[in-house]
Structure 1
Amino acid sequence: MQGDAKPFQDKIVEILNHGSLNLAMGLGYRAGLFDIMDAKARPCTVEEICKAAGLNRRYVQEWLGVMVCGEIVALVRDDDGQPRFLLPKAHGDVLARRAGSGNLGVYTQEIPLLTACAMESVFQGFLTGAGVPYEQYPAFHDFMAQLGDAKHRQVLVNTFLPSVDEGSIVQALHRGIHVCDLGCAQGVAILLMAQAFPASRFTGIDISVDALETARADAHEMGLTNVCFEQRDAAELYHPNSLSARFDYITAFDAIHDQTRPLEALRGIHELLKPDGAFSMIDIAAESDMEGNRNHPMGAFLYTVSLMHCMPVGLVDGGAGLGMMWGRQLAEKMLAKAGFGRVSVTTIPNDPFNLHFFCRK
């Protein structure tokens, strides 16, 4: 290392500390500890925190040790000398559930979940090149559905859709059009749209039987009659089929980069659209050249999520294995190959992670 560069050994120590901190923060977030301490808005004893959370004192005490050493929680002592613990408001602003779309605390669960789901299988992939099937990630996909629910409820209907094509999509949704969500998973986005726009009809498509069962059950519970779900392989939809030229508008939320045959899936979307139909592809804001992502503020995190999930899922059965960080340039080339002659790429209000690729057939 040259000049004032930090010694590499110190960097590794910092990585070990931060990796450990992420694991503990994920546990604390899941247990609701950040929310409880945020709501208290004052220094509390371990006993006060445990009583409010309904959790074991010994575990919470050890967890607080991690949080104090990681400078997430402040340790203070009053006149009685008893230790008390405070989550500063500025920390609660990004760690507590009240932060809404600005909540970064929820992401602390992601790497620990992926590690539990797929660590050994991904390691084997280094040796064999094999993918990891979607079915191996049930806990992670449940988490992603919860994350999507929180994000979509905040921004989809009130912020994102009004921004699409200068508001014309929302106007059409109110009049009544036929919409498809490709890779709908448990149906979070499409159920919200179906609820908000009763004059329109909605179809969710996914390859996962379990996810679609959850989506159908939720639609029934919500009393929605303008939505249906179909199990289909997106890569097979580019052949003429019963859904050809049926849809006015198609959405795909962070779904294309997970496809084993993404180009065929995009061609399938083109096949399903009416002659002047519109397609919104929401996908990760990244560059296709790794060099262009070196200064990405969450580049290492996003590449890790891709390594542990998106890429291996996309490699199943000899798939393309695009990965989450396939990037804007490759995405635009593939959209053009799929037949989309008009593509605009814009940022998304209140969503620093993704870009909106808006396409017309």
Structure 2
Amino acid sequence: MASVSPDDTNPDVYEERFNNIVYSGVIALGVGLGHRVGLFKALTYLPEPETSQSIAEHAGLNERYVREWLFSMAAAKIVFVTDDNKYYIPADCKTKTSKSLYATMMPAIAPLTKDVEKCLRSKDPSSADKIRTVLDIGCGVGKLTASIANYFPDAKVVGIDVDSYAIETAIKLKEDKHLTNVEFYLLGAEYLTEEWEKSFDWIIMFRVFHDLPNPDPCLRESIRVMKDDGVMTVLDNLGHSNPKLNVGNKPLAATLMVSCYMCLPCSLSAPPAAGNGIGWGLENRAAYIRENGLIIHDNELVECIHCSKATL
């Protein structure tokens, strides 16, 4: 058992800590909102302290709501205010506002509260308990596949890849970890085994989709081998399809340059040479998946999306 100091259980200290967490959680919602609507971007771009009206105009937002948001951020000492009611983030602090992944997630996960509450109250087995078959497409050296097999010891897990070295490495990893519920095959997703028809509860494409030179048969085959009530998880480190929406995103700029060296050549490596790469973007990916008959659950403009057949 972890050691507990007397201060940890002091009622007054406990109350203060509890309240601080609650207050910070609400403020974090505002931070996430500010990221989503471009207020932090505006405050970072503006070189001098500005009025709420000027900040609202720069971000293209309603001034009264912007002012209320600024009041909250100023009270939390995230945004600072001058004597003449102009708002700013100190120059040396501006780069720090872009690094909080959890803050940007808050508005996205908050609507899921009712769903989580429903799961907590449910006596049915969890979705994880129902997973018996998993297919990892483009498994590479098998690290994710092996982790899934370890996490779901009662499931049959299959990893496929077109790279022989990757599959050899994955098989060695399986042997080293003594995993008996995972198999690796040198196989492309364009021609999956006939016997796999409607066999898999969960299909995974981890940073694979945008690399495919011919995504049409890959997606078609993936849908064929997925159970009618199965789920497909697609993760791509993409930005927006419209380059104007990516302006100022330095990490994405670096990722797009990496795409020039790795992802794009891969997507152009064989006919019909789709040429997607990272520049394909979240919007184009979502449209493509919907056009092929899948339903995207929750927010489609995020790196990791979950899809199911439209028959559900």
Q: Which of residues 296, 303, 308 is equivalent to 1:355?
A: 303
How far did residue 334 of structure 1 move? 1.1
How far did residue 337 of structure 1 move? 2.2
User: Using a 3 Å threshold, how does the CA distance of structure 1 residues 284 and 247 change in structure 2: closer, same or farther?
Assistant: same
Match status 1:339 vs 2:293: yes
Matched residue, 2:227:
274
Matched residue, 1:188:
143
Match status 1:326 vs 2:274: no
Matched residue, 1:251:
204
**Would you say the 8 A contact 1:175–1:200 is kept in 2?**
no
**Would you say the 8 A contact 1:206–1:231 is kept in 2?**
yes
How far did residue 299 of structure 1 move? 2.8
How many Å separate the matches in 2 of 1:346 and 1:335? 10
State the aligned residue count: 192
How far did residue 324 of structure 1 move? 1.5
How many Å separate the matches in 2 of 1:292 and 1:197? 39
**Would you say the 8 A contact 1:235–1:265 is kept in 2?**
yes
User: Using a 3 Å threshold, how does the CA distance of structure 1 residues 338 and 231 change in structure 2: closer, same or farther?
Assistant: farther
Structure 1 runs (4+) deviating above 6 angstroms are none
> Unpaired segments of 5 or more residues in structure 1?
1-93, 95-100, 103-162, 348-353
Deviations 1:286-312 (A, max 9, x none): 111222212223232111111011001
How many Å separate the matches in 2 of 1:344 and 1:303? 26
**Would you say the 8 A contact 2:167–2:186 is kept in 1?**
yes
How far did residue 176 of structure 1 move? 4.5
Q: Which of residues 127, 132, 152 is equivalent to 1:172?
A: 127
How far did residue 175 of structure 1 move? 4.6
Amino acid at match of 1:359: C
Deviations 1:138-171 (A, max 9, x none): xxxxxxxxxxxxxxxxxxxxxxxxx9x9579x93
How many Å separate the matches in 1 of 2:246 and 2:131? 41
Q: Which of residues 266, 272, 282 is equivalent to 1:313?
A: 266
Higher relative contact order (CA 8 A, sep 6+): 1
Match status 1:291 vs 2:244: yes
How far did residue 215 of structure 1 move? 0.5
**Would you say the 8 A contact 1:173–1:199 is kept in 2?**
no
How many Å separate the matches in 1 of 2:131 and 2:210? 30
Matched residue, 2:215:
262
User: Using a 3 Å threshold, how does the CA distance of structure 1 residues 264 and 175 change in structure 2: closer, same or farther?
Assistant: closer
Secondary structure of 1:235 counterpart = coil
**Would you say the 8 A contact 1:174–1:200 is kept in 2?**
no
Matched residue, 1:242:
195
How far did residue 228 of structure 1 move? 0.5
How far did residue 209 of structure 1 move? 1.2
Match status 1:199 vs 2:154: yes
Secondary structure of 2:303 counterpart = strand
How far did residue 184 of structure 1 move? 0.4
How many Å separate the matches in 2 of 1:172 and 1:314? 34
Q: Which of residues 228, 243, 260 is equivalent to 2:183?
A: 228
> Unpaired segments of 5 or more residues in structure 2?
1-98, 103-112
Q: TM-score, normalised by structure 2?
A: 0.56
How far did residue 268 of structure 1 move? 1.8
Deviations 1:43-63 (A, max 9, x none): xxxxxxxxxxxxxxxxxxxxx
**Would you say the 8 A contact 2:296–2:305 is kept in 1?**
no
Matched residue, 1:151:
none
Amino acid at match of 1:316: S
Deviations 1:4-50 (A, max 9, x none): xxxxxxxxxxxxxxxxxxxxxxxxxxxxxxxxxxxxxxxxxxxxxxx
How many Å separate the matches in 2 of 1:334 and 1:176? 27
User: Using a 3 Å threshold, how does the CA distance of structure 1 residues 342 and 176 change in structure 2: closer, same or farther?
Assistant: closer
**Would you say the 8 A contact 1:264–1:338 is kept in 2?**
no
Secondary structure of 1:236 counterpart = coil
How many Å separate the matches in 2 of 1:219 and 1:360? 29
**Would you say the 8 A contact 1:270–1:339 is kept in 2?**
no
How many Å separate the matches in 1 of 2:241 and 2:248? 14
Deviations 1:239-261 (A, max 9, x none): x8222211011111111111111
**Would you say the 8 A contact 1:267–1:339 is kept in 2?**
no
How many Å separate the matches in 2 of 1:329 and 1:212? 32
Structure label with greater radius of gyration: 2
How many Å separate the matches in 2 of 1:211 and 1:250? 19
CA RMSD of aligned residues (A): 2.7
